[in-house]
């Protein structure tokens, strides 16, 4: 019988088949590492995982298999909006060949929401689906939910952004632990300790993930970074130098577009900061 791994805990694998979750061990000869999202074959009688189906993809951090998309939830306030951190989350998702959905949370705390939407419209303009929501007050959730049905989605974001609150709001009979943002640090406290796939429809699942303290972008080469900034695409191949890094070279069309306000200054600053970071790691590694 086939099923999907919903979580691994204490050496056991929880496998959902139809509407039943089985707590299984694993066949001794099976050496493959298994993660939530993996499709497996189980011996229903003996509660043993016997085989793992080929996976479509694997998110490296945290380890989740067969994902369709990642909901990047980012708070507008408490903790405050950090655009560079958001850009890193988007980069992490893009570099994993997954579709990012951006959910700006806690709209109920914003005095001038229309101004905030205008400020953040750049993300919609460069092709990302964006949603303005309040997970706590159930604002704007219907549209987001329709984009989650029949998909396997991961909810990711910095601590305190509202990941668990969002899942509590869209999934019936699930109450994940939430915790208030620290008044001193203005940051959240990690409450999720393991990855768990939670059913939201017959074929749809969302996964709550442990809070991120850092964003894993080490698999990206500095020379490939520009491919993950879609607003640069129209300028590809038009710079004076074929190997243009879009940071310091003369005749750079990306810098020209920046000067003419055709691309976001904030996004470009994120690009330059990450580029320098990746270059330094490469220099340290290869001398």
Q: What is the pLDDT of residues 36-57, one digit of tens each?
A: 999 999 998 999 999 999 999 8
Q: How far is residue 99's CA from residue 72's CA, in Å, rounded to a whole number? A: 10
pLDDT: which is higher, 19 or 141: 141
Domain covering 59-208: architecture: 3-Layer(aba) Sandwich (3.40)
Which segments of the chain belong to CATH 3.40.50.300?
Answer: 59-208
Enumerate the CATH 1.10.40.50 domain ranges in the chain, comma separated.
222-286
Q: What is the structure's pLDDT at 244?
A: 96
**pTM value?**
0.85
Looking at the predicted structure, is the pLDDT value of residue 142 above 70? yes
CATH topology of domain 2-54: OB fold (Dihydrolipoamide Acetyltransferase, E2P) (2.40.50)
Q: Check if the beta carbon of residue 154 is closer than 8 Å to that of residue 59.
A: yes
What class is the 222-286 domain? Answer: mainly alpha
The pair of structure tokens assigned to 146 is 């329709």
For 18, left (φ over 0), alpha (ψ -120 to 50), or beta?
A: left
Q: What is the mean pLDDT of the chain?
A: 87
- Is the CB of residue 166 less than 8 Å from the CB of residue 103? yes
Name the β-bridge partners of 39.
4
Q: How far apart are CA 183 and CA 3, in angstroms?
A: 43
What's the CA gap between 271 and 258, in Å, rounded?
Answer: 12
Question: Helix, strand, coil shares of the chain as percentages rounded to 5?
Answer: 30, 25, 45
Within the chain, all domains assigned CATH 2.40.50.140 are found at 2-54
Share of the chain above pLDDT 90, in %: 64
Q: Report pLDDT for 192.
A: 44
Cβ atoms of residues 162 and 137 within 8 Å: no
* pLDDT per residue as tens digits for the range 211-260: 544 466 778 999 999 999 999 999 999 999 999 999 999 999 999 999 99
Task: Give pLDDT, residue 191.
Answer: 45
Percent of the chain past pLDDT 70, that is, above it, reads 88
């Amino acid at each position: 019988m086939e099923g999907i791994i919903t979580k691994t805990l204490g050496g056991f694998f929880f496998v959902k088949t139809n509407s039943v979750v089985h707590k299984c061990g694993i066949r001794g000869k099976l050496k493959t590492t298994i993660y939530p999202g993996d499709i497996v074959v189980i011996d229903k009688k003996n509660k043993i995982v016997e085989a793992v189906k080929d996976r479509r993809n694997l998110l490296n951090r945290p380890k989740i298999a067969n994902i369709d998309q990642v909901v990047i939830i980012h708070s507008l306030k408490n903790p405050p909006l950090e655009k560079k951190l958001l850009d890193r989350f988007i980069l992490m998702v893009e570099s994993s060949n997954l579709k990012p959905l951006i959910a700006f949370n806690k709209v109920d705390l914003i005095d001038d929401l229309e101004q905030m939407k205008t400020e953040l419209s750049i993300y919609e303009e460069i092709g990302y689906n964006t949603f303005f929501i309040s997970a706590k007050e159930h604002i704007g959730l219907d549209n987001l939910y329709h984009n989650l049905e029949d998909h396997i989605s991961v909810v990711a974001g910095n601590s305190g952004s509202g990941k668990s609150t969002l899942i509590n709001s869209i999934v019936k009979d699930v109450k994940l632990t939430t915790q208030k943002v620290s008044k001193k640090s203005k940051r959240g406290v990690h409450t999720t300790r393991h990855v768990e796939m939670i059913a939201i429809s017959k074929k749809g699942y969302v996964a709550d993930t442990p809070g991120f303290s850092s964003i894993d972008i080490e698999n990206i080469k500095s020379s490939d970074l520009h491919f993950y900034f879609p607003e640069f695409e129209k300028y590809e191949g038009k710079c004076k130098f074929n190997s243009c890094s879009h940071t310091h070279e003369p005749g750079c069309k990306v810098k020209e577009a920046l000067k003419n306000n055709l691309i976001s200054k904030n996004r470009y600053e994120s690009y330059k900061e990450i580029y320098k970071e990746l270059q330094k790691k490469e220099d340290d590694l290869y001398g």
